[in-house]
Amino acid sequence: MEYTDQMKNRVKRIEGQLRGILKMMEQQSDCKDVITQLSATRTAIDRTMGVIVSSNLVECVRKAEEDGEDSEAFVKEAVNLLVKSR
């Protein structure tokens, strides 16, 4: 599976957001502001997951078929992972 620089940069930005949230918590920032930032981070994680799945799904299905696996089951599993994450 290939993880592009764009994908890695998304994760690095999320890491920065989480560090910022921790700093806000340490500074006793308002609960509303912390929750807002946590929500933004969750959205960024969801979008990153979508990018990774959409970018690699075709490759993963081909590999599953080459390995004799059921590609339809693989796609269903990927979708279920995305659904469970919400």
> For residue range 10-48, what is the model confidence (pLDDT) as tens digits?
999 999 999 999 999 999 999 999 999 999 999 999 899
Q: Which domains does the chain have, with CATH numbers?
A: 5-84 (1.20.58.1000)
The answer to whether 21 touches 37, Cβ cutoff 8 Å, is: yes
Against a cut of 0.95, is the pTM above it?
no
The one-letter amino acid at 26: E
Residue 12 vs residue 75, higher pLDDT: 12
pLDDT at residue 86 in the model: 60
User: What pLDDT is stored for residue 40 in this prediction?
Assistant: 97
Coil, strand, or helix at residue 40? helix
